[in-house]
Amino acid sequence: MTYDFSNIFAKILSGAIPCHKVHEDDATLAFMDVMPQAPGHTLVIPKVPSRNLLDADPAVLARLFPVVQKIAVAAKDAFGADGVRIIQFNEAAAGQTVFHLHIHVIPIVEGAGLKPHTGKMEDGAVLAAHAEKIRRALRT
């Protein structure tokens, strides 16, 4: 399958759609999920067009996963989480709904449970505050 340059993450990368940025470098962008399953739910994406893990260049993955780790550590610290769930879907049959490679980083507090990912969008002020908490944790 070919990459769809009109997907929502491509639009975020182009600046056509805003996001609550947590981290950005020349190869990756991390931002808050607008329908978080838990406080601090962050997405990490490569800037290079890739549908998913199955077609990504290994060099893209080599740049992506150290950032996933960095965000996971910061999100765990920022939200006082007991653990971090890392999720990545490949193709519709596996649950992928946005066809740009993305990694979900979800801080997990034991016993708190997760909200459904198809629920309502979180308030922008809440997402901005959560992004700031993670950015502060990245600086320490």
Write out the catalytic residue numbers: 102
SS3 category, 32: strand
CA distance 89 to 64: 15
Query: Could you tell me how many residues make up the chain?
Result: 140
Instruction: Return the HEC string of 51-112.
Output: CCCCCCCHHHHHHHHHHHHHHHHHHHHHCCCCEEEEECCCCHHHCCCCCCCCEEEEEECCCC
Sign of the CA dihedral with 21 first, then 35, 7, and 58 last: positive
- Residue 101 in tokens: 């490679």
The whole-angstrom separation of Cα 82 and Cα 111 is: 10
